[in-house]
């Protein structure tokens, strides 16, 4: 049978407590029992010492010197506190017994060779008995003293104690079950609230959160963890919606342009030059769409969490030279002056292919957003024992309200949208993601109309 959490807590606590209470009651019973037997054994010992003192042992015979001991009241009665005594020889044959034994006799055990206390019965009634040997000076056993006292009163006490303990045990477990179940229910009530709230949350109300418990315990930690999970889910859903909206917008524009161009083109016959011009224009738009799709796939690949950077030692000088060589045509086209200053030794730790993409995007951005004939500064320096790379342009700059958004996908500031600068707003999103994967510190500073500076600290 499958038990819920409340009943499982109750069951585990009840079993553990039941075992402990059972052990405690068992110890109490044994302690009382052993105490009762100890007191009776002390009485038997005192009586046996008294009898032993009245024995006279000569060679291999013994005699009772004080016969008045046998006539004491406790040796003649059987109703109140009687003491039964027998003296037997080494073979167990009766030599003398007290009158209260009448026709009965005490149990003799020939296997007992030393003073021994044990429980037995006399005429159907429980008794506590001691049997001790009578030895001569050389250690030979001449006979035995057997003394017995009733065990009924102690047996009744022990029986009553046993019944009380058993009844109390089950009563305590019964009460404890309901108390524990109530406490367990109160303890897990915050979990039930978490479950109820979590069941209400859907894709449409991801902004709802679970109320934190008052006490900062494990349930508080669980609730906080679930709330943080919901934050991440909400962020992911919002980014997905934004991505879908932006991607559809970015792809719809070139598709509309291509469709419109082709529709105009087929309305009437045109010259070869016009056909070539329109076809080339459509090809450029297709190339733009292809670039968007490639960058989306690249970004999705790096955001999937399945790509792990391979960190190696890289000579940043050599990599910058290779990147500038690939961008040579763009630099010469805009007549950009590249001013490169660097520390002598610059070996950094990064993923080679990821770093290439980062540098190409940042340097190409600086070139694109710089006016023709302007300068770009590439500075490699030491900051607090770390190597820092700064890429600085003197172009149009970025408004302060846009700086926090430039790493979002498809985001382009209005000033750049209204210009003739090409781009789809994915480059810096890729740069940011790759920097995060390698734990690189990426920062940006910008002043409108004066330029922008990106800095990476390795």
User: Quick one: pLDDT band at residue 412, thresholds 50, 70, 90?
Assistant: low
Same-domain check for residues 271 and 417: no
Please give the pLDDT value at position 416.
45
Last residue of a domain, one of 260, 280, 303: 303
pTM of the model: 0.48
For residues 271 and 327, membership in a common domain is answered with: no
Q: How confident is the model at residue 165 (pLDDT cuts 50, 70, 90)?
A: very high
Taking alpha carbons only, the member of 404, 374, 415, 372 closest to residue 392 is 374
Over residues 151-161, the mean pLDDT reads: 87
Same domain, 247 and 383: no
Alpha-carbon distance of 290 to 271, in angstroms, equals: 28
Give the separation between CA 458 and CA 350, rounded to whole angstroms. 8
The 3-state DSSP class for residue 11 equals helix
Asked, for residue 190, whether it belongs to a domain, the answer is no
9 and 134 together in one domain: yes
Q: Which of 60-64, 121-125, 130-134 has the highest mean predicted lDDT (pLDDT)?
A: 130-134
Question: What pLDDT is attached to residue 415?
Answer: 45
Range of the domain at 283: 218-303
**Same domain as 402, residue 296:** no
Q: What is the DSSP letter of 306?
A: -
Q: Are residues 289 and 397 in the same domain?
A: no
Confidence tier at 95 by pLDDT (50, 70, 90): confident
Q: Summarize the confidence of residues 200-227 as an average pLDDT.
A: 79
Given the structure tokens 């995060």, which residue do they identify?
436
**Same domain membership, residue 447 and residue 425:** yes
Model confidence band, residue 313 (pLDDT cutoffs 50, 70, 90) = very high
pLDDT range class, residue 419, cuts 50, 70, 90: very low
Measured over the CA atoms of residue 344, residue 349, residue 352 and residue 353, the dihedral's sign is negative
- Asked whether the predicted pLDDT for residue 378 surpasses 80, the reply is yes
**Residue range 23-78, pLDDT digits in tens:** 999 999 999 999 989 999 998 998 888 888 888 887 777 777 766 656 565 555 55
| Model confidence at 195: pLDDT above 60 | yes
Mean of the per-residue pLDDT values for the chain? 82
| Cα gap 126→124, rounded to integer Å | 7
Same domain for 124 and 99, yes or no, is yes
3-state secondary structure of 339: strand
The predicted structure's pLDDT at residue 169: 92
Q: Among 108-117, 263-272, 414-423, name the one with the lowest average pLDDT.
A: 414-423
How many angstroms from the chain centroid is the CA of residue 181? 24
Q: What percent of the chain has pLDDT over 70?
A: 88
The verdict on residue 326 lying in a domain is yes
At residue 291, what are phi and psi to the nearest 5 degrees?
A: -65, -40
Say if residue 164's pLDDT is above 90: yes
- Does 155 lie in the same domain as 9? yes
The residue ranking higher by pLDDT, 298 or 320, is: 320
| Predicted local confidence at residue 242, as pLDDT | 66
The pLDDT score that the predictor gives to residue 418 is 39
* Tens-place pLDDT, residues 392-407: 998 888 888 888 788 8
Please give the pLDDT value at position 73.
56
**Mean pLDDT of the 232-248 span:** 72
pLDDT value at 159 more than 80: yes
CA distance 251 to 273: 28
Residues 128 and 251 in one domain: no
- In this prediction, residue 390 carries a pLDDT of 92
Instruction: Tell me the average pLDDT across 229-234.
Output: 82
Distance CA 157, CA 163 (A): 10
């Amino acid at each position: 049978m499958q038990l819920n959490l409340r009943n499982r807590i109750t069951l585990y606590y009840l079993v553990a407590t039941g075992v402990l209470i059972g052990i405690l009651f068992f110890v109490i019973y044994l302690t009382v029992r052993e105490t009762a037997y100890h007191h009776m054994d002390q009485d038997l010992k005192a009586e046996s010492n008294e009898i032993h003192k009245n024995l006279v042992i000569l060679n291999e015979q013994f005699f009772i010197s004080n016969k008045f001991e046998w006539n004491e009241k406790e040796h003649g009665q059987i109703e109140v506190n009687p003491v039964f005594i027998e003296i037997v020889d080494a073979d167990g044959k009766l030599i003398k017994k007290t009158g209260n034994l009448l026709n009965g006799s005490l149990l003799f055990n020939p296997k007992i060779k030393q003073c021994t206390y044990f429980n037995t019965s006399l005429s159907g009634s429980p008794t506590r008995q001691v049997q001790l040997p009578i030895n001569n000076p050389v250690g030979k056993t001449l006979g035995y003293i057997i003394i017995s006292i009733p065990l009924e009163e102690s047996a009744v006490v022990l029986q009553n104690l046993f019944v009380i303990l058993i009844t109390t045990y089950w009563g305590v477990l019964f009460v404890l079950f309901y108390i524990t179940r109530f406490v367990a229910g109160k303890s897990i009530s915050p979990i039930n609230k978490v479950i109820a709230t979590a069941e209400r949350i859907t894709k449409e109300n991801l902004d709802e959160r679970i109320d934190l418990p008052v006490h900062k315990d494990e349930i508080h930690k669980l609730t906080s963890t679930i709330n943080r999970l919901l934050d991440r889910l909400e962020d992911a859903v919002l980014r997905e919606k934004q991505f879908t909206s932006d991607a559809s917008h970015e792809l719809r524009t070139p598709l509309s342009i291509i469709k419109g161009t082709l529709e105009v083109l087929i309305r009437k016959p045109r010259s070869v030059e016009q056909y070539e011009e329109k076809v080339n224009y459509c090809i450029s738009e297709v190339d733009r769409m292809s670039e968007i799709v490639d960058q989306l796939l690249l970004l999705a690949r790096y955001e999937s969490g399945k790509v792990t950077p391979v960190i190696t030692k890289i000579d940043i000088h050599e990599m910058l030279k290779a990147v500038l060589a690939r961008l040579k045509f763009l630099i010469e086209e805009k007549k950009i002056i590249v001013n490169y200053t660097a520390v002598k030794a610059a070996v950094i730790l990064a993923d080679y292919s990821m770093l290439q993409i980062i540098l190409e995007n940042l340097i190409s951005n600086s070139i694109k957003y710089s006016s023709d004939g302007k300068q770009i500064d590439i500075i490699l320096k030491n900051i607090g024992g770390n190597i820092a790379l700064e890429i600085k342009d003197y172009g149009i700059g970025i408004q302060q309200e846009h700086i926090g958004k430039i790493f979002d996908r498809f985001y382009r500031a209005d000033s750049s949208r209204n210009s003739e600068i090409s781009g789809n707003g994915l480059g810096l999103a890729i740069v940011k993601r790759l920097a995060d994967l390698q734990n690189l510190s990426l920062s940006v500073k910008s002043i409108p109309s004066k330029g922008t500076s990106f800095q990476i600290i390795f």
